[in-house]
A and B are shown apart, each in its own frame.
Chain A
Amino acid sequence: MRQIIPIKKGIKRLCLFLAASLLFSSPALSKDTFKIGGVFSVTGRASFLGDPEKKSMEMLVNQINAKGGIDGRLLEAVIYDTEGDPQKTVNAVSKLINKDQVIAIIGPSLTPTTLAVVPFAERSKTLLISCAAGILITEPVKPWVFKTAQSDALAVASIYQHMKAQGIKKAAILSVSDAFGESGKQQLEKQADAYGITVIRSETFGAGDTDMTPQLTKIRKENPEAIICWGTNPGPAVVAKNVKQLGLQIPLYQSHGVASPKFIELASDAAEGIYLPTGKILVADLLPDNDPQKPVLQNYIKEFESRYNMPVSGFGGYAYDAVRMLAEALKGSNGDKEKVRAALEEMKGFVGVSGVFSFSKTEHNGLSPDAFVMVQIRNNTWELIR
């Protein structure tokens, strides 16, 4: 093929074309969008968190844009994968702040990765709305850091409220020896006094242990009125089995770490009668109609499941809430970072998937214990306790 257009003419045409494209450039580009960032552990060990979070964020950004965006400006999401690695998260967040120059960042998915990037968000005065649960993220409060996931402390409070109502005064703790179990144990021991409960024995088990009978035998000797087990699958299912085998006739409480159908499948018959706190998404259909979260939850479940054709989890809800609140805070801000931050901090009574958020200068998680509901496992399914 031969070049037909002479080079000089070609350059002239190119210049014309460029000038035209500058004149008629689409509004979806450059300054006319709100650029927001996302950092989630989309792959790797914690992909069960990051994957639904990324999907929820994309879904919501599409929906907002389909309705014409915010104040006539479209949202533009830049999402990076952290693989659950703090170093990669730091790189991704630096890129979002310096190269992409986003207004706010949603994520990361994990407590360690969030803590690694908190200083960067603070220094660059970029809003960070984390999807991780660790209480250290928002305690002490950092001006630019918020989070949407419920803290362990709230789950502990729900359990203790239920125990108090049952008149239980002596409890024993059996927790897994990893970061999740350790954090749960600390909260359980810290809050016990406030509910008039004494922790009479605290035992641990390894994440891969096959038999917890010795720990339970030791606990039984102290005659507790209830046992609280704090861990993630499969350990707590073994504990449930062992409790049943030993014939212990006292209530067993589990943490929200096992609030999934998988736990019932693993523990099968032994799951019967167990109490646990869970985010409302697991029991959305069972909630009373006057629960303010019910329509939000049902809406989210319907949208997510029809779009991605996979079962919804509470984790995606963390990102869903974060984007919705950010969109609310962006209204009328004209993209001014400080205005967005202030609007978020003043937000009260925002009904989300994970709970009702009310932020203030001293509270950047914004949830209360009623973000959790207590459920009991009966006939292989969840039953709401009122």
Chain B
Amino acid sequence: MQEILQYLFSGITNGAIYAVIAVGFSMLYNSTELINFAHGEFVMLGGLGIVTLWGGSLLPLPAAFVLTVIGVAFVGFLLERVALRKVSRSQPIVLVIITIGASIFLRGIGMLIWGKDAHAIPSFTKLSPMDVFGAKLMPQSILILAIVLLVVVGLHLFYRKTLTGKAMQACAINEKAAWLSGIPSDQMVLLAFFLSAGIGAIAGIIIAPITMCGYDMGILLGLKGFCAAMLGGLGSLWGSLVGGLLLGISESLGVGYVSSSLKDAIAFLVLLLILYIRPTGILGIKEAKRF
């Protein structure tokens, strides 16, 4: 009982982080049908941003949080404006390769600014771990879960309740028709990049206290987030949440009950199995591109 709870706590914490990253992938795919392989680098920038701004005690936590998210969102904005806009009528494969190039570029910049060593910051709360039936629950885990739910619910409301959100969705469903009805689709794509990069930064910020941040952390986290998005159904917000949690929990149970050296293999096996049974992902709709 104690063990299984501990595996679940660990799995849910990691899964929640995968979920935020997956949400970033998903919402961008929704608006642009583009898979952004530089997304992991936004996570890295978020993590290292908070290390500098808050860990270096330049700013109080809330201010550092907001500033980091906006800063990274602006990097996403620049990526679209400078690198992708110029070729936006091009084939998807070209755009995907541009994002891969951007990820290498951003990683290099990260290495130049923050160096090759990892960095650490203390936990956001000073509370000590809670005891739940003998298993330890970190206050940071609860914080992470709360932030993840806030992000997903916030995005859900944004798409359903605001005009801008609806306009973005309209662009996703049919860009030309949206354009004909007066929606500036270029700006919508720009906004999508802005939001997606900001969400990536949030993932980086909340993961920073539980692990170490380095310039190369984006590779693995981006990959895990992409898996979670595929697992849940690319393009579905709630699917990303489910996919992330499922990936996190299967990893941690895999370590606990099978073998720690097979940890990543188990997670990817789950992904393969689910895609084999349900190619659109758990919550993905038939074409895997609509809400």
Q: Interface on A for B, CB 8 Å cutoff?
A: 177, 203-206, 208-211, 213-215, 217-218, 221, 233-234, 237-238, 241, 245-247, 262, 265-268
Contact = CB atoms under 8 A, between A and B. Distances in A.
B120 A266 contact: yes
Interface stretch (B60-68, B181-189, B214-222, B228-236): B214-222
B129 A213 contact: no
Given A234-B118, A245-B136, A266-B212, A217 B3 contact: yes
Contacts of A266: 118-120, 212
Contact of B212 (A214, A217, A238): A238
Contacts of B7: 214, 217
A174 to B, nearest CB: 8
Given A177-B261, A245-B129, A247-B136, A211 B212 contact: no
Interface string B250-268: 0111011000110110000
B10 interface: yes
Contacts of B212: 233-234, 237-238, 266
In order of increasing CB-CB distance, the 4 nearest A-B pairs are A234-B212, A210-B211, A234-B118, A214-B255
B210 to A, nearest CB: 6
B122 interface: yes
B13 A211 contact: yes
Contact of A208 (B217, B256, B261): B217
A245 B215 CA distance: 26
A328 B200 CA distance: 59
Nearest to B11: A214
B172 to A, nearest CB: 32
B36 interface: no
A241 B122 CA distance: 10
Contacts of B216: 208
B211 A211 contact: yes
B6 interface: yes
B207 interface: yes
Contact of A246 (B118, B136, B210): B136
B129 A214 contact: no
Nearest to B217: A208
Contact of B117 (A209, A211, A233, A245): A233
B22 to A, nearest CB: 16
B120 A206 contact: no
Contact of A245 (B17, B118, B138, B256): B138
A268 B129 CA distance: 17
Contacts of A213: 6, 9-10, 252
Given A208-B216, A210-B207, A210-B210, A247 B129 contact: yes
Contact of B260 (A204, A208, A233): A204
Contacts of A206: 220, 263-264
Contacts of A246: 6, 129, 136
5 contacts: A211-B13, A215-B255, A217-B6, A233-B117, A266-B119
B30 interface: no
Contacts of B220: 206, 208
A336 to B, nearest CB: 44
Given A210-B207, A246-B136, A203 B260 contact: yes
A246 B137 CA distance: 9
Contact of B255 (A218, A233, A245, A247): A218
Given A208-B216, A211-B13, A267 B120 contact: yes
Interface string B1-29: 00100110111011001000000000000
Contacts of B207: 210
B14 A262 contact: no
Contacts of B221: 210
Contacts of B136: 245-247
B14 A210 contact: yes
A213 B219 CA distance: 22
A211 B14 contact: yes
Contacts of B264: 206
A258 B216 CA distance: 19
B10 A218 contact: no
A245 B125 CA distance: 13
A268 B136 CA distance: 20
Contacts of A233: 117-118, 212
A215 B260 CA distance: 7
Contact of B256 (A214, A241, A268): A214
